[in-house]
């Protein structure tokens, strides 16, 4: 199984924010998935990520494709604990859930 890696920090620096940047990276992610079994979103060097950025990058995709698909095809690595928490919060909010989990 081949995988590609997208370095979020290379796209937006240590503080990533805004829907425009989130959408830009999400489109790169979707395009990468056309050529790869799995894509790694690497948050190395990212210190802060806005809720709107994380919603646009991750939650929109989870809402469109589903949690099982996302977990199978996308890996989030090197994200600080508070960023991981905010990713789960964005997904939960977009899906109208009360739990903070990406599990199926």
pTM for the model stands at 0.87
Give the pLDDT of residue 1: 55
* Residue 89 pLDDT exceeds 70: yes
Whether the CB-CB separation of 7 and 42 falls below 8 Å is answered with yes
100 pLDDT tier (thresholds 50, 70, 90): very low
Q: Decide if 100 is inside a domain.
A: no
Whether residue 85 lies inside any domain: the answer is yes
- Largest Cα–Cα distance in the chain? 34
Q: Domain for residue 54, yes or no?
A: yes
Total domains, the chain:
1
């Amino acid at each position: 199984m081949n995988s590609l890696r997208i370095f979020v920090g290379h796209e937006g620096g240590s503080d990533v924010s805004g829907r425009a940047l989130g959408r830009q990276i999400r489109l790169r992610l979707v395009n990468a998935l056309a050529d790869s079994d799995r894509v790694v979103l690497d948050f190395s060097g990212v210190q802060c990520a806005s809720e709107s950025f994380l919603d646009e990058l991750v939650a929109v995709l989870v809402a469109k494709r589903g949690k099982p698909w996302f977990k199978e095809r996308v890996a989030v690595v090197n994200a600080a604990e508070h960023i991981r928490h905010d990713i789960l919060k964005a997904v939960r909010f977009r899906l109208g859930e009360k739990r903070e989990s990406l599990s199926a």
